[in-house]
Structure 1
Amino acid sequence: MSQTDSNFQPAVPLDDLRASGRELVRVDGRAIAVFHHEGEVRAVDNRCPHMGFPLTEGSVEDGILTCHWHHARFELSCGDTFDPWADDVQAYPVEVRDGTVYVDPDPPRDEPPAEHWASRLEDGLEQNLRLVLAKSAIGLDDAGVDPTEQVETGVRFGTQYRQGGWGPGLTILTAMANVLPDLDTNDRRRALYQGLVQVASDCADQPPRFEQESFSARDLSHERLKSWFRETVEVRDADGAERCLRTAVASGASEAELAEMLVAAGTDHRYLDTGHTMDFVNKACEALDLIGWEHAESVLPTLVDGLTGAERSEELSSWRQPIDLAAMADDTFDRLPDLVAAGEGEEWTEPDDFTDRLHSDDPEAVFDALEGAIQGGATVEQLASAVAFAAGKRVAQFATSNEFSDWNTVHHTFTYANAVHRLSRRTDATELYRGVFDAAVNVYLDRFLNTPPAPIPDRGDSEADTDALLDDLLATFDTEGAVNEAGRLTAHYLDAGGDPAALRERLGSGLVREDAGFHTFQALEAGFTQAGMREESEERRVLLVAVARYLSAHFPTRREREQTFTIADRLHRGEKIHEAD
């Protein structure tokens, strides 16, 4: 007997199969559906690849096998599906010998698993299929494919097939990619799935982007292109701005120079689109850090529509009445070169009371604190870090007596401040000081949401059971409104010497099982980022309390996406889902 013949195993007597038309057999532990149809013997995996329903319970007509649960149809001889949302079913070679049907339970694959799931990932994005995206995230990870490849696929798709450009979906995908090191293995899969689902949803029913071309000139200076870019954004000329930005990329502008162009245009007006515009700029740059800056030509131009179409906060009454904050900012920015010059050669150390000064009820005190810091040599990064902490503390002390929607107000300030801080590590452009002031003004405007402030939890028992505290923390996410308890458990876990990495893992686990919204994904990633950049343990404590309180305020959800992921995971692991399987 040849090596090929030796793979075949006896399955069912041919006469029995003719009589019944179908038989469920087990060969080498596999549940296989064997059919006698139109004089031929066919065999396929008994589990419908869509959601595991037993195909022996289906029907066969004209060479088509139909699953009765969701009516997925398969070409019986090869297993290929008529319905892309269902996947192809595994077909098995058969032979008839001496009145017995033999089945090869381990035929060679048409393509390696990594190639198969990469192709299915594309299908899931194109057709906005959650179950396919879940299966792909699991299958690619199981095949040992680097998560960055999934991120790259999602970024390439999202930047090409969303006319509006960079949006929440790509931001969520990038945020989840950033926190992957904080999660356990299965939650990393969930995080990628969550991000890919959001990209697919953002692009569903959207027309694709049609790109402008760069200028043919390649000898334009960085300063000239930067000036043109700011001018075209100023007058809301998206086409012209895109050509300027594409030319800078094509001319070989450095990452820092490209970031400088974007932050300069992004801070020529105040707090664009409640901070989302700058957060998108930051996330686009972080996405390029993940997938490679060789993709800048396709990624960065997707930011242009957001820059040119953004709402400008100096046009809002909150920035003009009862105090003209926009005018105060303009006055400071007119003097910014002199302030920076005065601080040259100086080294600034953040005063102990600096957060309290940024939380002042007097905007002049806030401006004075920032201006004095610049004159004292404070870099953009130092000030951005200080303001980001002040913004995070507003979240940690958000009073639950406010309207629920007000969580978004303090959240927007924090994620904007985080974006400015992150960008300050990418470029030292003087214009970015304006982003620091924008964030600080919003910290000031948010003061009423801390009236009275929720107290930062008192110190907990240093001998407390840290495992129990983590379990209790996750349990609070099952109870609506357990905001203060979530904050207390987080603080007391750290007070008891709990491992911050284990805390981040548990908070991340709480997030990725939920039908979380855009802001909740942002809140966790920004909080983790800021906490990870702090040397002071008390600052880390405050920021992680902020994360826990924000998550708790927005949980529990229906967890529909988690149900889909669980089905995909069980199918991938070969678990029995239906009794007849």
Structure 2
Amino acid sequence: MTAVTTAIDNQAGEQTVIGHIDDFDVAAMKMVKVDGHRLCVVRTSDGVYALDQACPHEGYGLTTGELDGDLITCAWHNWKFRVSDGSCVLGEEDVRTYPVSVADDGTLAVEFSEPDPAVIRPKLMTSLRSGIERQYIGQVSRDIVRLLRADANPGELIWEAVAYGAPRAEFGWGHSIASLTDCLGMVVQYENDDRALPIVQAIAGVAETERGRPERPLADALPTLPPDARAEFRRQVEGESVEGAQSVLRAAIHDGADAAMLKPWFTDVVSDHLLGYGHGAIYAQKAFQLLERIGWDRADTVLPHLVPTIVYGTREDKLPYMKLFHRGVDQLDLRDLAERANEPDPNWVDDGRLLTALLGPDRTEAALATGAALAGGASLEDVLDVVTLAVSERMLRYDTDGELDFHDDFGWLDITHGMTYANAARWHVGDGPVTVDDVRLVLWTAFLANWTGRHEWHTAVGDRAEIEPRSNDLLEYGRSLQHEALLDGTTAFIVHAHAVKMSVAATEEAARLGTSAPLDATARFMAAPKLERFVAATVTRSIDFLSGKAHRD
């Protein structure tokens, strides 16, 4: 391990006398305090030097280590530093040094002052990039705290992870983009140094998932936009051409297209299919929300690297298990339903049919009941409300013994997508008149809400868990869950990402519905036993596969 040199320059400050040169033996170290700050003072044959006493790794005192010429070795984890400039020769980061002067009479004085934020920020950003690349989360964490103390913008810190991770994501952005967006949104819930928690959690996900991967180049932008660029983008995505879709998209961005213009492009393509358990719609939502927070000038990185996720996403609507749902959809007139949804009945309330259908085992009826609700005066928002309530109920009554049924490809994370997908669909269809594409997207969310019950179709429905709300204030309740999601209660990044994403979506959905049900469901998910590593389950399912056993619906 070799650290990038990031020695910090100090502002000119007052000198503090720390003793006489005769008080310090050659080839020895001594700890001294200056204004409550511990320093390691070292005298070598070349001079006297002062460094931070705390090793930058975990704070162990350097004076307890060993000195060999110009090199200190920390006793705790063997990190090594040159005393002359503080550079780390084995470990992750440098130790800060302070100028020492020797008067004619042998008096020693150290210049101790805080560095100029404008001077240290660029150097700390270099160190942060190094930590992200090497997945040195300790270094990332310390640099984030230092940068926040140096008045760095949290969005700029998240951008470092975007700039590193987006070009390296093998199949386009995954869960890390959702976590980057949601964690950046959580920063306002913290103050001072504590703001580092959501930022480091976000960056750690990118560092883990993209470490060591080569950069994936983007296709060049088209020299000129086609006449109907939106339709051409859709055609390229449908044809599974990453390069073609990126070329059109980048040309639009370079031509000055803004978020309002490009959001419908992505709503188009995520409504064409039920993409990968709703991931296409969710990641598009998070990408645009991220750009709102870090600046649209970063769109040419964020959005083109999102394209492979959508192009390569599983088109679940083409898979056999959706045939029964399609039987219902084929009986619906989506154009008529879109027209009706544009003039909904403000007094519409589900009479129980839609909720019952979504919670039942009949996939065809789930589609028909959704269509009947829209035909009967429901808005798209009304339908999404019922979808959210259905998924909340599913999570509250999920039999957690199902997590240990390794033969069944189903678990907690599958159910959470029912809510996060509905939340993303709400974002996608929230602007402008209702279109056929909007209706189709909402139908996909109804399918997924219904499909999250497939474990119940083969086992007894579990007893509904009764959750004691943490607060009657839904926002406070939601924020407590978001905070819990950041506290390392999960061992795998994939589960952590779902906890973060779910806690944010549930907070928004609860506020919309005026009920704690989504938050209660999230609280149960976060507290319940669940698979984390998936190794044993994968082995079991591999044996089933090689033995000719098919997945059950």
**Structures share fold, TM-score greater than 0.5:** yes
Quote how far apart the aligned CAs of 1:276 are: 1.9
User: 1:574 is matched with which residue?
Assistant: none
Aligned-partner residue type, residue 467 of structure 2? R
Quote how far apart the aligned CAs of 1:181 are: 4.0
SS at match of 2:400: coil
User: 2:522 is matched with which residue?
Assistant: 547
- Which of the numbers 455, 463, 468 marks the counterpart of 1:489? 468
C-alpha distance in structure 1 between counterparts of 2:517 and 2:145, whole Å? 35
- Which of the numbers 275, 289, 292 marks the counterpart of 2:292? 289
Q: Does residue 441 of the first structure (1) align with residue 450 of the second (2)?
A: no
User: 2:66 is matched with which residue?
Assistant: 59
1:281-320 aligned at under 5 Å gives the runs: 281-320=284-323
Q: 1:346 to 1:318 in 2, by over 3 A?
A: closer
Quote how far apart the aligned CAs of 1:77 are: 1.9
Quote how far apart the aligned CAs of 1:444 are: 1.9
C-alpha distance in structure 1 between counterparts of 2:509 and 2:468, whole Å? 22
Q: Does residue 162 of the first structure (1) align with residue 169 of the second (2)?
A: yes
Q: 1:388 to 1:126 in 2, by over 3 A?
A: same
Asked if the contact 2:98–2:111 (Cα under 8 Å) also holds between the matched residues in 1, the reply is: no
Aligned-partner residue type, residue 51 of structure 1? E
C-alpha distance in structure 2 between counterparts of 1:512 and 1:529, whole Å? 15
User: 2:361 is matched with which residue?
Assistant: 361
Quote how far apart the aligned CAs of 1:549 are: 0.5
Q: Does residue 126 of the first structure (1) align with residue 129 of the second (2)?
A: no
Quote how far apart the aligned CAs of 1:185 are: 6.1
Quote how far apart the aligned CAs of 1:546 are: 0.6
1:413-562 aligned at under 5 Å gives the runs: 413-426=418-431, 428-450=434-456, 452-456=460-464, 484=465, 488-490=467-469, 493-494=470-471, 498-514=472-488, 516=490, 517-534=493-510, 540-553=515-528
SS at match of 1:236: coil
Quote how far apart the aligned CAs of 1:175 are: 1.8
C-alpha distance in structure 2 between counterparts of 1:82 and 1:39, whole Å? 19
C-alpha distance in structure 2 between counterparts of 1:352 and 1:148, whole Å? 45
- Which of the numbers 46, 51, 59 marks the counterpart of 2:53? 46
C-alpha distance in structure 1 between counterparts of 2:281 and 2:164, whole Å? 22
Aligned-partner residue type, residue 155 of structure 2? T
C-alpha distance in structure 2 between counterparts of 1:33 and 1:81, whole Å? 15
Quote how far apart the aligned CAs of 1:556 are: 12
Asked if the contact 2:31–2:63 (Cα under 8 Å) also holds between the matched residues in 1, the reply is: yes
Q: 1:368 to 1:6 in 2, by over 3 A?
A: closer
1:327-346 aligned at under 5 Å gives the runs: 327-330=327-330, 332=332, 335-342=333-340, 344-346=342-344
| TM-score of the superposed pair, with normalisation by structure 1 | 0.79
Quote how far apart the aligned CAs of 1:42 are: 1.6
Which shifted more, 245-254 or 44-53?
Answer: 245-254
C-alpha distance in structure 2 between counterparts of 1:147 and 1:316, whole Å? 42
User: 2:350 is matched with which residue?
Assistant: 351
User: 2:15 is matched with which residue?
Assistant: 8
Q: 1:152 to 1:91 in 2, by over 3 A?
A: same
Q: 1:431 to 1:82 in 2, by over 3 A?
A: same
User: 1:145 is matched with which residue?
Assistant: 152
SS at match of 2:204: helix
SS at match of 2:399: coil
Deviations 1:375-413 (A, max 9, x none): 345443443343233223322222223235521221222
Quote how far apart the aligned CAs of 1:524 are: 4.4
User: 2:270 is matched with which residue?
Assistant: 266
C-alpha distance in structure 2 between counterparts of 1:235 and 1:433, whole Å? 23
Quote how far apart the aligned CAs of 1:544 are: 1.0
User: 2:402 is matched with which residue?
Assistant: 402
Q: Does residue 228 of the first structure (1) align with residue 232 of the second (2)?
A: yes
C-alpha distance in structure 1 between counterparts of 2:123 and 2:180, whole Å? 22
Deviations 1:419-456 (A, max 9, x none): 11222225655313222111211222223445644455
Asked if the contact 2:357–2:366 (Cα under 8 Å) also holds between the matched residues in 1, the reply is: yes
SS at match of 2:403: coil
Aligned-partner residue type, residue 390 of structure 2? A
Deviations 1:53-102 (A, max 9, x none): 22223334453333343333333222233357123322332324413322
Quote how far apart the aligned CAs of 1:173 are: 1.6
C-alpha distance in structure 1 between counterparts of 2:158 and 2:15, whole Å? 41
Quote how far apart the aligned CAs of 1:554 are: 5.1
User: 1:207 is matched with which residue?
Assistant: 214
Q: Does residue 89 of the first structure (1) align with residue 63 of the second (2)?
A: no
User: 1:77 is matched with which residue?
Assistant: 84
Q: Which has the higher contact order (CA 8 A, sep 6+)?
A: 1
Quote how far apart the aligned CAs of 1:41 are: 1.6
Q: 1:181 to 1:526 in 2, by over 3 A?
A: farther
Q: 1:108 to 1:277 in 2, by over 3 A?
A: closer
Q: 1:110 to 1:529 in 2, by over 3 A?
A: closer
Q: 1:229 to 1:111 in 2, by over 3 A?
A: closer
Asked if the contact 2:344–2:379 (Cα under 8 Å) also holds between the matched residues in 1, the reply is: no
Q: 1:215 to 1:87 in 2, by over 3 A?
A: same
Quote how far apart the aligned CAs of 1:209 are: 2.3
- Which of the numbers 178, 189, 192 marks the counterpart of 2:196? 189
Aligned-partner residue type, residue 540 of structure 1? T
SS at match of 2:89: coil
Asked if the contact 1:187–1:512 (Cα under 8 Å) also holds between the matched residues in 2, the reply is: no
- Which of the numbers 283, 299, 323 marks the counterpart of 1:280? 283
Deviations 1:227-271 (A, max 9, x none): 2222222222111111122223233334233222222222222x2
Asked if the contact 2:478–2:503 (Cα under 8 Å) also holds between the matched residues in 1, the reply is: no
Asked if the contact 2:30–2:63 (Cα under 8 Å) also holds between the matched residues in 1, the reply is: yes
Q: 1:142 to 1:403 in 2, by over 3 A?
A: same
Quote how far apart the aligned CAs of 1:536 are: 7.3
Q: 1:503 to 1:378 in 2, by over 3 A?
A: closer
C-alpha distance in structure 2 between counterparts of 1:64 and 1:377, whole Å? 77
SS at match of 1:518: helix
Asked if the contact 1:113–1:139 (Cα under 8 Å) also holds between the matched residues in 2, the reply is: no
SS at match of 1:82: strand
Asked if the contact 1:12–1:100 (Cα under 8 Å) also holds between the matched residues in 2, the reply is: yes
Aligned-partner residue type, residue 412 of structure 1? H
Q: 1:160 to 1:6 in 2, by over 3 A?
A: closer
Alignment gaps of 5+ in structure 2: 1-10, 405-409, 534-553
Quote how far apart the aligned CAs of 1:327 are: 4.8
Asked if the contact 2:218–2:305 (Cα under 8 Å) also holds between the matched residues in 1, the reply is: no
Asked if the contact 1:278–1:416 (Cα under 8 Å) also holds between the matched residues in 2, the reply is: yes
User: 1:566 is matched with which residue?
Assistant: none
Regions of 4+ moved over 6 Å: 555-558
User: 1:576 is matched with which residue?
Assistant: none
- Which of the numbers 252, 256, 274 marks the counterpart of 2:256? 252
SS at match of 2:24: helix
Asked if the contact 1:172–1:518 (Cα under 8 Å) also holds between the matched residues in 2, the reply is: no
